[in-house]
Chain A
Amino acid sequence: MFKRFGGFHWILVFACFGVLAWRVASLQLLPDPRVQRQSQRQYWNHVPVSTNRGVIYDKNGNALALSVPASSFFIDPAFWDPANGQKLAGILPQDTVRSVSSQLKGRFTWLARKTDQKTAEAIRSLGLKGIYELHEKKRLYPNKSLLAHVIGFCDVDDKGLSGIELVWDRVLYSPPGVRVLAKESSGKTLDVTAFSESAGGGIGSVNLTVDSRIQFIVERRLNEGIAEHGAKWGSIVCLDPNSGAVLAMASWPSFDPNDRKELANLKKIVNNSIGRTYEPGSTFKPVILGVALERGSIGKNEVFNCPYRIKVADGHVSEAENRGYGKLSVPEILVKSSNTGMAQIGLRVKAADMYSGLREWGFGKTVEIELNGMESGLLATPEQWRGVVPSNIAIGQGLAVTPLHLASAIGAIANGGDLLRPFIVSEVRDGGGDVLYAGGRHMLREVLSRETAQWLRSSLRDVVRKGTGRSADIPGIELAAKTGTAQVAERGEYMKGKWVASFGGFWPVEKAQYVLLVVIGEPSKGKYYGGVVAAPVFRRIVEDMMQIGLTAAIERVG
């Protein structure tokens, strides 16, 4: 009966075809649900990845923070053998290695975010199954620690955490793009089949008033001074007294925002220029004089007897040097930085007047600037000014300020009496190029009359010419400044051997271009006078600025 087909053996062959056809039909048309599940979950991952974050520029258009491409790696636990975890030892941190060496759950675990080239290559070359690479954007701070405290930093998802990055996050941040990934089973390469850029178009940018050149000089000299004197902290602020623009703002200890490990160190990331308060000491005296003169409490050429020590209520005030000065006029009190003289001047002003005067100067309240982490400082209300307190305040003790407080006050003296609100952001643009915010001169109050300001300026010029600030005198630069050597109080007691040395001033004395305040906290190598520790740093900064032509010496005729 099989003759028609060539025999039974041929029938068998044809039957095999039937079996194959049936099998192929069932596998393709009615697949096993387990197979379908496997298919649905093995190729695709929707991974949110960092996209471009807005650029932060300095005054001259140099990028201080920008986004660059970086490789990230993730693990799909369904394809991952925890035994392979140990192969990553030496490439990735030990705790990461440990965590991926145990059984992972789910379908997605980050292995390493935004690695450097070397690490990425090392992971790639292992070719481990279940590890996938994808490309995203990484925040890069090309100048490393330069201006780190002001710029701030982001978390690993590029969300701002501090500084400009935090304050202007809504402009700089662009939501993560969702990448749809087709994964290879080996993980060696990865097909990016779709990439949805974040909605809402482009991203904004922030321009700062900071001049990187000045910032660089300031940081270098601050580090030098800190190292030289074994200080615990330091801060330098440089302002344009005519607009209130911050030209440089440095803080020590510093950090490199590119190194995520450093970001956990709170001591390093605090911006001492705005986030740390200290008792200003003698650098505060021009402000007290300003208040006393404006209230008419003293005459400009009054003479005070300045012994080594005077008794005030329950305490006493004594000179820093171990001697009395005898009779001093008001300008001489400033030039020699006489404490007993200042104490007497302070006592002349009614407590309420002094308090309201200092409030007008902006002390005891936060200096508003486009940053985060500002401290308000400390200025007790007059009811608490008992005993020796008013005379202490007159010599800059018993109240706390941030370096930025004092720098703006010095700015008011320099510009003829206008207290300006400092600003560090000159312009913020959205993705479309529209200006969202523009920083500029903002006057808070006239704190000095032109005459008083003029008088204070020439007195401060004399401080440098023949007083405590002589070490900062530079031929041809008409520098006006005040030294400060303040004691450090802890729990209501002034600590022996703990000082804050500072030097604040401006130049040229008329039509000042720059205000600069150098604060060196707790020097530990014996020297602690502002004129010895802070003034040389100030001087070197001015000299460096001269060298690159930012400021010029005046040719004196005769």
Chain B
Amino acid sequence: MERAYRQESEGVHVRVDPLLWMIPLVLVAFGIMMIFSLTAQVSLEELGSPFALGLRQVQWFCIAIGAMVMVYVIPISFWRRSSGIIWLFALLLLVLTLIPGVGIKAGGARRWLGVGGFRFQPVEFLSLAVAVHLAKLMSVSPKRGLSSFLSVTLMILGISVLPLIFQPNIGGTMVIFGLVMALHVEARGWSWPVFLGGGALMASFPLILSAGYRVRRYMAFLNPWEEPMDSGFQMIQGLVAFSNGGILGVGIGKGLQKLNYLPAAHTDYIFATIGEEFGFVGTISVILLFFLWTTRACSVYKAARSTEDPFLASLVWGVTVSVLIPFFINLGGVLKLMPLTGIPLPFVSYGGSSLLFMWAKVGLLMRACREIYAS
């Protein structure tokens, strides 16, 4: 494969691996179909049209495609040059969410900014900015070992995560934490993250315990059957959805869990709904699509490693894991492997900010792919 691209890159026309965008496209199409099916009743009751939420997702998708194209035409050198400013800008937006009157509060947390009728979560922008900026720092900083971990990695982590803690946004914090650690591991090796990462995990316990509703969610994850109608309800209903689906699923639109059993059937729990309506065939297909996409990203990464520019490799890795970490956290929560955190499933879940920046990341990956094979 790599050889094929390199051979092509010697010609005039440079081809970008089409699977990098085709797989997300399939996932988005699948997601929009599910959203239309799942939200028909809610949309009708609350917004007056059965298609309202589905159409909004389509609108966001159009914006997202625009963002992808825009990012794709911007040279990588721009990101390398401006990564710090982009990161600071993302942080600024994040801080704005904390200001009452500017940030929009919902469900006990301030995470949103309103932009002309659209709601926007700056944390999605931040994950892109952190991936780019830390990749750049890793490539230019001469520091190695503990000093690199403390003064670069942990500094970026600390500053980035601070506004998230005030929102509060445990899921977003976990994504940024995972992303920063992944970038450090890629560029500087495992020793310090493993050593201090374990400690940080311990330290995050009081944080989790500090938010009342988080505690309930956390306990529910350990034993949802203790309060099956209360704190364990959501967790159990997710499992029920998978159990209902079996191998082939009950068929699209025929799922029963969306009858308010799954509280967020079209957002955080969309994977469980897929499990119910399309069965194991549906869920394993989604996992395989992500897996296939990851192997393509890995190929780009390997090609980047063969160039002499460490920034490119770090960037490809960082952007890839910034897509995969929300994916793992979402599925981990829904599959009862870890506590629920309220992270959307990339490309599939309803939600504009996630969709927009996931596609921006696809655009960046495609751009990197093109420049790597062109060089």
Contact = CB atoms under 8 A, between A and B. Distances in A.
13 contacts: A6-B298, A9-B186, A10-B298, A16-B328, A17-B287, A20-B287, A20-B331, A21-B287, A23-B335, A28-B243, A28-B245, A35-B243, A38-B240
Given A7-B186, A39-B243, A28 B259 contact: no
B281 to A, nearest CB: 9
B243 A182 contact: no
Contact of A13 (B245, B259, B260, B294): B294
Interface of A: 5-10, 13-14, 16-17, 19-21, 23-25, 27-29, 31-32, 34-36, 38-39, 42-43, 78-79, 81, 182-186, 188, 191
Interface in B31-48: none
B337 interface: yes
Contacts of B331: 20, 24
Given A6-B301, A19-B337, A185-B259, A24 B275 contact: yes
B284 interface: yes
B229 A78 contact: yes
B317 interface: yes
B228 A38 contact: yes
* Count class of interface residues, chain B: 35 or more
A24 B280 contact: yes
A25 B260 contact: no
Nearest to A193: B256
B261 A185 contact: yes
A387 B317 CA distance: 122
A282 B336 CA distance: 90
B236 A9 contact: no
A43 B321 CA distance: 39
Given A39-B244, A182-B259, A31 B239 contact: yes
B246 interface: yes
B57 to A, nearest CB: 23
A28 B246 contact: yes
Given A25-B280, A28-B245, A42-B261, 4 more contacts: A14-B294, A24-B242, A29-B246, A185-B237
A369 to B, nearest CB: 53
Closest 5 CB pairs of A and B: A31-B243, A184-B259, A185-B260, A27-B242, A28-B280
B242 A43 contact: no
Nearest to B249: A28
Interface of B: 182, 185-186, 190, 225, 228-229, 236-237, 239-240, 242-247, 256, 259-261, 275, 279-280, 283-284, 287, 290-291, 294, 298, 301-302, 305, 317, 321, 324, 328, 331-332, 335-337
A38 B259 contact: no
A31 B317 CA distance: 36
Contacts of B242: 24, 27-28, 31, 35
A20 B236 contact: no
A186 B302 CA distance: 51
Contact of A17 (B244, B256, B294, B302): B294
Contacts of B335: 20, 23-24, 27
A496 B243 CA distance: 82
Nearest to A39: B240
Nearest to B299: A6
A43 B256 contact: yes
Given A9-B317, A14-B294, A42-B261, A28 B283 contact: yes
Contacts of A186: 260
Nearest to B295: A14
B118 to A, nearest CB: 28
A39 B335 CA distance: 17
A182 B260 CA distance: 12
B222 to A, nearest CB: 15
Given A20-B328, A25-B280, A36 B243 contact: yes
B291 A17 contact: yes
B256 A6 contact: no
Choose among A7, A19, A34, A185 the residue with the greatest number of B CB atoms under 10 Å from its CB. Answer: A185
A35 B240 contact: yes
A188 B225 contact: no
A101 B351 CA distance: 40
A27 B337 contact: no
B253 to A, nearest CB: 12
B221 to A, nearest CB: 14
A3 B279 CA distance: 36
Nearest to B337: A23
B123 to A, nearest CB: 21
Contacts of A183: 259
A29 B247 CA distance: 6
B228 A17 contact: no
Contacts of B305: 6
Nearest to B316: A6
A13 B275 CA distance: 22
B189 to A, nearest CB: 10
Contacts of A19: 337
Contacts of B275: 24, 27-28
A3 to B, nearest CB: 9
A414 B283 CA distance: 88
A35 B324 CA distance: 29
A367 B240 CA distance: 65
A271 B328 CA distance: 76
Choose among A16, A27, A36 the residue with the greatest number of B CB atoms under 10 Å from its CB. Answer: A27
A182 B239 contact: no
Contact of A5 (B182, B259, B291, B298): B298
Contacts of A79: 229
Given A6-B302, A29-B247, A186-B260, A21 B284 contact: yes
Contacts of B332: 20
B85 to A, nearest CB: 28
A202 B236 CA distance: 45
B64 to A, nearest CB: 24
B186 A17 contact: no
A39 B262 CA distance: 13
Given A7-B186, A182-B259, A27 B328 contact: no
A38 B236 contact: yes
B224 to A, nearest CB: 10
B226 to A, nearest CB: 12
Nearest to B294: A13
B256 A182 contact: yes
